């Protein structure tokens, strides 16, 4: 080992301060305290610190600094009588930004979308904030009106929808997806819901419903094919091989019955 190696400090867990054998390059658990270690800008941070940094990055265009975050958190904590969470603090900041940028449609649209992202991360329905964002978007002079659905679902909102689907809340998930601009990702979620419904119908021997669910999806996807191609140069997701086999089986059952 060279002389410089003798003085190199071992990386430490940002949670428990225990020395680590090697510096993590991505998210991992600490072998001592089992808490998550995350990496931001080459630095090891706690899960909470990473969340704060991520939000400060998202709100950078509004001039929100770490000092602003800490001041809002301190005031909110005094009101609560205990340490305010990161999400509660960001929510307070977003509400203040709405008042600050009340006459700026471009800023308001982004603020409402950040609100939708925040509530989605908590497993709550983001629809009302997505609707407000879309209302503001339509008022923007620099955005010509197009034939669009009510809301746009981003990564965090789609994660919320996937959670609903996995919990079996298909009606609620489908309701939000039907309101959304039909991106390939949105259509893929609708396909998965149609597939889930079709497989349940097969178990009940309802072959007519199997055909209805799967063909309804293909019809809807076909309706928005050109939109998807214009949007991201991508075809809508097609039925999978197993879904096509199920559709064929259902049609054969109906024909023979």
Kindly tell me the burial class for residue 161, based on how many C-beta atoms sit within 10 Å of its own C-beta (0-12, 13-18, 19 or more): buried
Q: Write down the pLDDT at residue 183.
A: 92
- And the tokens for 178? 């039907």
CATH class of the structural domain 185-257: mainly alpha
Length, in residues, of the chain: 257
Q: Write down the pLDDT at residue 81.
A: 96
Q: Write down the pLDDT at residue 13.
A: 96
Q: Write down the pLDDT at residue 142.
A: 63
Place of tokens 């293909």: 218
61 secondary structure, DSSP code: G
User: Whole-angstrom Cα distance, residue 20 to residue 148?
Assistant: 51
At 245, which helix (H) or strand (E)? helix 241-256
User: Whole-angstrom Cα distance, residue 247 to residue 217?
Assistant: 12
Q: Write down the pLDDT at residue 149.
A: 56
Nearest to 226 by CA among 236, 217, 239: 236
Long-range contacts of 72-78 (CB under 8 A, 24+ apart): 72/96
Q: How many CB atoms lie within 10 A of CB 190?
A: 23
Over range 169-182, report the average pLDDT: 93
- Contact in structure between 104 and 132 (CB atoms under 8 Å): no
53-64 pLDDT, tens digit each:
999 999 998 999
Over range 226-237, report the average pLDDT: 90
Q: Would you list the domain boundaries of the chain?
A: 55-100, 102-181, 185-257
Q: Write down the pLDDT at residue 204.
A: 95
At 91, which helix (H) or strand (E)? helix 86-100
User: Whole-angstrom Cα distance, residue 71 to residue 48?
Assistant: 17
117-147 pLDDT, tens digit each:
999 999 999 999 999 998 888 777 665 444 4
180-225 pLDDT, tens digit each:
989 999 999 999 999 999 999 999 999 999 999 999 999 999 989 9
The pTM score is 0.72
At 43, which helix (H) or strand (E)? strand 43-45
Nearest to 198 by CA among 247, 156, 153, 154: 247
The yes-or-no verdict on residue 165 having pLDDT over 90 is yes
């Amino acid at each position: 080992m060279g002389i410089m190696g003798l003085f190199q400090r071992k990386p430490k867990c940002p949670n428990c301060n225990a020395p680590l054998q090697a510096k993590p390059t991505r998210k991992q658990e600490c072998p001592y305290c089992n808490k998550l270690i995350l990496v931001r800008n080459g630095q090891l941070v706690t899960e909470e610190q990473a969340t704060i940094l991520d939000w400060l990055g998202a709100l950078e265009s509004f001039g929100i600094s770490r000092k602003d975050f800490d001041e809002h958190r301190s005031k909110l904590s005094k009101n609560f009588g205990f340490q305010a969470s990161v999400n509660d603090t960001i929510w307070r900041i977003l509400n203040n930004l709405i008042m600050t940028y009340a006459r700026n449609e471009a800023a308001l649209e982004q603020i409402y979308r950040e609100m939708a992202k925040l509530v989605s991360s908590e497993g709550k329905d983001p629809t009302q904030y997505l609707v407000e964002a879309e209302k503001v978007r339509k008022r923007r002079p620099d955005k010509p009106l197009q034939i669009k659905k009510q809301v746009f679902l981003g990564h965090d909102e789609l994660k919320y929808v996937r959670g609903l689907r996995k919990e079996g809340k298909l009606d609620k998930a489908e309701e939000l997806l039907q309101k959304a601009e039909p991106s390939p990702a949105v259509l893929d979620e609708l396909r998965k819901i149609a597939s889930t419904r079709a497989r349940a119908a097969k178990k009940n021997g309802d072959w007519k419903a199997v055909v209805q669910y799967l063909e309804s999806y293909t019809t809807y996807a076909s309706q928005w094919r050109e939109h998807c191609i214009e949007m991201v140069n991508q075809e809508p997701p097609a039925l999978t091989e197993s879904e096509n086999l199920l559709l064929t089986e259902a049609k054969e059952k109906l024909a023979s019955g």
